[in-house]
Structure 1
């Protein structure tokens, strides 16, 4: 008897962290066939066999090479390529994750072809329609058939938007599944060869912080970036920081003439395990990343988020995350609280237990049987 075929769509490196636990759960379950579809939204030369071996999954079955361009160009190229793929071998369902352009594009194509859509990380809302990711979330959820939700706010949003109760599944978070899996792998393997610029070795026995910044609202505006840099220089005077710099962020630092000072070590983008090796032992993580807010909460690492809002409020309500906006004084104040041992004591939210993917696969196997 032929098993139902599930297309697992990923377009950017973080998407693979989210589908990896689902692939492992599908293998263990055995009731569904699957193919990993890489849209090529972000092509990363570092995505080689070692990367997928780290994740415990095979390399993608199909690579669509959609490439860059504007949001409209990229979305259109992905839609054309994915439509051709679905017509050549029609899947029983399409699973999309997160909120990138590939998520939106493949959801629309599947729905137009009357193929059911499962959205993992459904229901998240920042309320900020200036964020492209927010548009992608809203549109994807408006046409999905099954909603796999990471936190209570997602359930509330979907109910308010009129989604059928039977279609909403609060399952926990596959990103947490993955970080727990990777942390265990790291503990077994050790950190040999994973210390960028020898930073951890140079600061052995000392506290340090990790910084990431990539959101256009933070790094593309000279005044905002200058304001953030003011806070970072003050923090670095007390706590050495390491900053894996996104290429666009690095270019803007140079273009705006911003110097973060001698206590901020700039390194290139890091592989998943190398970056985990860095931040898991940090005194604090400063970031504007959505995923890192969740991962730090999962491992109990203090997180200071340089944004005015978050689509992941459970990381603030229950986890180790604090929002400070782009105000240098608030940034410095929160880090000082943490360094004095006065920071908030977060906890891991309900169902963030490493088994979200198993719950997702169980639901899909039942629905597609």
Structure 2
């Protein structure tokens, strides 16, 4: 029996683990000797940021919640490591499977290796090459101590090979985020505010901003949002506000009749909004993958991306963080000249079964 401990810590993880759990259950139904234990580290502990995802994505309740949220980066990493060490010692596994690039990913990989448990990293090998981002440190550390690497792109494979990873430990399987997107797409549902705001398909743009580089410098954030308002007419702007950003916006007194601040949304409501939008303006990496698959124009307000295939193949464009970049991008969009894009290879909704098939075939476990 192969026993896998699956780690989920923050909102982006839940979209990635849901299809993996579904694939394990399907394999069990077919007689495969595999079992799992789902560990929620509690890194995101706000109900709006995590709780609804379990229900919406049909993920079973975690076997345990370590409740290790809050604090500084170091405090959170330490809390996760202390609690996960006890958890893994009490419930040994053949494999600890971590996903993405949040603090829980790195912390649990370190604990597993020190307890001589092999680690698999889903979404391994992606790189922004920007060490100012906590996520990049998490990626580098996790991949330095991972045994089995499941990748989303050929570029991720090349990054790992350049770091000395053995080719036989790299499995190019595709993107589990897209498994979730394609499975849940028929279930997308209107947000409660849709009618109240008078929204219609293609009548609005969606905004999401949460990275420190965009939201912590208040004057820059104000200029950025005002530029977006100025050059996006006549479209409404729907802005689901991350708790981190909400605190800053309260002080800034930004307002316009086309700008609508709304509460953070569940997965099904948010993607209903994205699928029907004229465009998305974001600094999130994961959203650029979803817009690429749905064919929605996407403007990324960052200086780099760990998902370059969303630009080279998809609908995403990297604008940088200078507010002056907004106007030409909006002109390109509103004149009908945005690229149509395509879908990267293996982003087909069948990544998770490929991962479980590879795990079942690993003789080392």
Shift of 1:195: 2.1
- Once the two structures are overlaid, the 10-residue window that deviates more, 63-72 or 47-56, is 47-56
Question: 1:64 aligns to what?
Answer: 66
Q: How far, CA to CA, are the matches of 1:43 and 1:245 in structure 2?
A: 17
Shift of 1:337: 1.6
Q: How far, CA to CA, are the matches of 1:180 and 1:278 in structure 2?
A: 15
Shift of 1:206: 5.3
**What 5-or-longer segments of structure 1 have no aligned partner?**
none
Shift of 1:47: 7.3
Alignment of 1:1-369 (within 5 A): 3-30=1-28, 31=32, 32-46=34-48, 51-186=53-188, 191=189, 194-198=190-194, 202-204=198-200, 207-255=203-251, 257-367=252-362
Q: How far, CA to CA, are the matches of 2:19 and 2:38 in structure 1?
A: 12
Q: How far, CA to CA, are the matches of 2:166 and 2:294 in structure 1?
A: 33
Taking structure 1 as reference, are residues 309 and 48 closer, same or farther at Cα in structure 2, changes over 3 Å only? closer
RMSD: 1.7
* Cα deviation code 1:12-65 (max 9, x no counterpart): 122111000100111111221001110011113247886424212211111111
Give the TM-score taking structure 1 as reference length.
0.93
- Once the two structures are overlaid, the 10-residue window that deviates more, 222-231 or 56-65, is 222-231
Taking structure 1 as reference, are residues 224 and 231 closer, same or farther at Cα in structure 2, changes over 3 Å only? same
Taking structure 1 as reference, are residues 156 and 206 closer, same or farther at Cα in structure 2, changes over 3 Å only? closer
Q: How far, CA to CA, are the matches of 2:167 and 2:36 in structure 1?
A: 27
The number of residues matched between the two structures is: 360
* Cα deviation code 1:159-207 (max 9, x no counterpart): 1111010011111000011111111233xxxx3xx32423586033652
| Equivalent position SS for 1:147 | strand
Give the TM-score taking structure 2 as reference length.
0.94
* Cα deviation code 1:213-268 (max 9, x no counterpart): 0001110012431331232121343321100011221211233x251422110011
C-alpha contact 1:171 1:351 (8 A) present in aligned 2:
yes
- Once the two structures are overlaid, the 10-residue window that deviates more, 54-63 or 346-355, is 54-63
- Once the two structures are overlaid, the 10-residue window that deviates more, 73-82 or 197-206, is 197-206
**What 5-or-longer segments of structure 2 have no aligned partner?**
none
